[in-house]
Amino acid sequence: MSSSGALRLHPVDAAVAVDRDRAEAAVAELLEALGRDVSGEHLADTPRRVVDGLLELITPREFTATTFPNEDGYDDLVLVRDIPFTSVCEHHLLPFRGVAHVGYVPGPRLVGLSKLARIVEWYAHDLQVQERLTVRIADHLERQLEPAGVGVVMSAEHLCMSVRGVHAVGSRTETHVFRGAVAADDRLRRRFEASGS
């Protein structure tokens, strides 16, 4: 954490250069390989739109997570429920979306409540699996905020399961990370687990 009370966001991955022309050509080639005519009016601009859409899904917006001194010594759970998120499955390049319940038991500092949602959004914008996303959010809070405990529960529908393959429409995957006081205290953990239902 910086001395100004701002949490530093670590890059999701090392900065990568995006070659838009190459990406659009690759999408056009994929469509042609699938037997589609990309010169037609409906598909002519599809490669650009696909690249725009993917970049929007995997590029996080910059922000600063402001923190404040915990002057009153608050030592119970701070929990923000039902934070919506969308991410992209790195195995199929299809979205998964759902809600996150993120909380912490404060140490010396408090974080602005909206910033918990921003942290979820930041880490969700990547190619990944839900398990890694859950761990990254918990790691970030633990590393930057130094709380007494952290909990992250994520529940999402994965389009790679619901619109293809098994076609399990409406099925949801839950992942949980509990650390410190949240992992050690059954009462705190139950409050998180009640969030997921």
pLDDT tens by residue, 17-65: 889 999 999 999 999 999 999 999 999 999 999 999 999 999 998 888 8
Listed as own residue / partner, the contacts of 162-170 with beta carbons closer than 8 Å and 24 or more positions apart are 163/94, 164/92, 164/94
* Residue 122 counted as domain residue: yes
pLDDT of residue 13: 43
* Other beta carbons less than 10 A from residue 23's beta carbon: 17
Active site annotation includes 92: yes
* Other beta carbons less than 10 A from residue 151's beta carbon: 28
**pLDDT tens track for 63-93:** 888 899 999 999 999 999 999 999 999 999 9
Listed as own residue / partner, the contacts of 44-50 with beta carbons closer than 8 Å and 24 or more positions apart are 47/23, 48/24, 50/24
pLDDT of residue 1: 47
* Residue 103 counted as domain residue: yes
* Joined tokens for residue 141: 């809070």
Q: Count how many domains the chain has.
A: 1
Does the pLDDT of residue 14 top 90, yes or no? Answer: no
pLDDT of residue 105: 97
Pairwise CA distance, residues 99 & 21, whole Å: 34
Active site annotation includes 89: yes
* Residue 114 counted as domain residue: yes
* Residue 121 counted as domain residue: yes
**pLDDT tens track for 120-152:** 999 999 999 999 999 999 999 999 899 999 999
Active site annotation includes 101: no
* Residue 11 counted as domain residue: no
Pairwise CA distance, residues 148 & 113, whole Å: 17
For residue 21, CA distances in Å to 28, 44, 48, 71, 157 come to 11, 14, 9, 53, 32
The active-site residue, picked from 101, 125, 130, 176, is 130
The active-site residue, picked from 89, 125, 140, 176, is 89
Range of the domain at 132: 66-195
* Residue 14 counted as domain residue: no
CATH code for the domain of 94:
3.30.1130.10
pTM: 0.87
DSSP assigned state of 94: -
* Residue 51 counted as domain residue: no
Pick from 115, 106, 114: nearest CA to 71: 106
* Residue 3 counted as domain residue: no
The active-site residue, picked from 92, 142, 174, 193, is 92
The active-site residue, picked from 29, 32, 56, 90, is 90
* Joined tokens for residue 122: 């930041």
How buried is 196 (Cβ within 10 angstroms: 0-12 exposed, 13-18 middle, 19+ buried)?
A: middle
